[in-house]
A = this chain, B = another copy of it.
Amino acid sequence: MLTNPRATRVKAVRALGRRSVRERAHRFVADGPQSVREVLRFSPATAVEVYVDAETAQRHADLLEQARAADVPVHDCTAQVLAELADTQHPQGILAVCRPVDVPLDDALDAVVEPTAGFVVVLAQVRDPGNAGTVLRGADAAGARAVIVTDSSVDLYNPKVVRSTAGSLWHLPVVVGAPLESVIDGCRRRGIAVLAADGAGEVLLPDADLHGPHAWVMGNEAWGLPHELRDRCDEVVRVPIHGHAESLNLAMAATICLYASAAAQTPVKSTASRR
């Protein structure tokens, strides 16, 4: 039982809240039962250790069972230690220290053309952790083959990003730190159409051809995509705005685009209508 909130080990986990420390240590924190469940379920080999307080250990005995089955050490600690470990105002009683899960760019892009045509989302210069995580969750739900985060974006292993993915971080291949140039080059080589989603686009989303393999490039929350990058894309597509709204926020625009891709590529499994 860990009882000392000032122990070196506690401080070391807490320090993973900082990007530089995460990058040096090749570790990050999955906070809360949902994240811990998903890492243990989808990527148990990347879970290094689990910390849990007594109350949560009782409430989520299944999680500890899962951890033990995967040979992941579980450390019991006081609620005070757990609060110190988690870089959040609302500690959730359990967290896992994890290894990064990102894959090489080529692997992710290969998955967009094989075995069938698929789609991928590229976050270029996205800075807001909540937006990044929400897009990742939406990409998972829409059935994207991968999520690519470029080198000038928020860190995918930032605790706020991890939390807002609601576990989707472990559900599909992610790439971090790829320069957008390399992403575009890799798409070209594989015949993947590169679509920029931007309010300044000339093609309306319902007019975009989403049947073949394609990549959605989403720019920064505030200033969109720089001209020179937009010009390198095959098409600049905009979500139609029907009312007086100036724009949609990034996560919403991305989700609408990704669901349009899903609709174009997924045969609808019709269920009986109740009407």
Contact = CB atoms under 8 A, between A and B. Distances in A.
A269 interface: yes
A39 to B, nearest CB: 13
Given A206-B263, A255-B248, A275 B241 contact: no
A273 B235 contact: yes
A6 interface: no
Given A268-B207, A272-B202, A273-B203, A262 B242 contact: yes
A244 interface: yes
Contacts of A181: none
> Interface residues of A: mostly helix, strand, loop or mixed?
loop
B204 A248 contact: no
A275 B234 contact: yes
A252 interface: yes
A134 B252 contact: yes
**Copies of this chain, tallied across the complex:** 2
Contact of A252 (B138, B144, B172, B239): B138
Contacts of A242: 141-143, 262, 266
A259 to B, nearest CB: 5
Interface stretch (A56-64, A66-74, A121-129, A163-171): A163-171
A166 B245 contact: yes
A89 interface: no
A20 interface: no
A111 interface: no
B274 A235 contact: yes
The 10 tightest CB contacts between A and B, nearest first, are A143-B242, A171-B244, A141-B245, A140-B243, A140-B245, A206-B268, A252-B255, A141-B241, A143-B243, A256-B259
13 contacts: A134-B252, A137-B245, A137-B252, A138-B248, A139-B243, A141-B243, A141-B245, A142-B242, A166-B245, A207-B270, A207-B273, A235-B273, A255-B256
Given A137-B249, A240-B266, 7 more contacts: A141-B247, A202-B274, A208-B273, A209-B275, A235-B275, A248-B255, A252-B252
Interface of A: 42, 134, 137-144, 166-168, 171-172, 202-204, 206-209, 234-236, 239-249, 251-252, 255-256, 259, 262-263, 266, 268-275
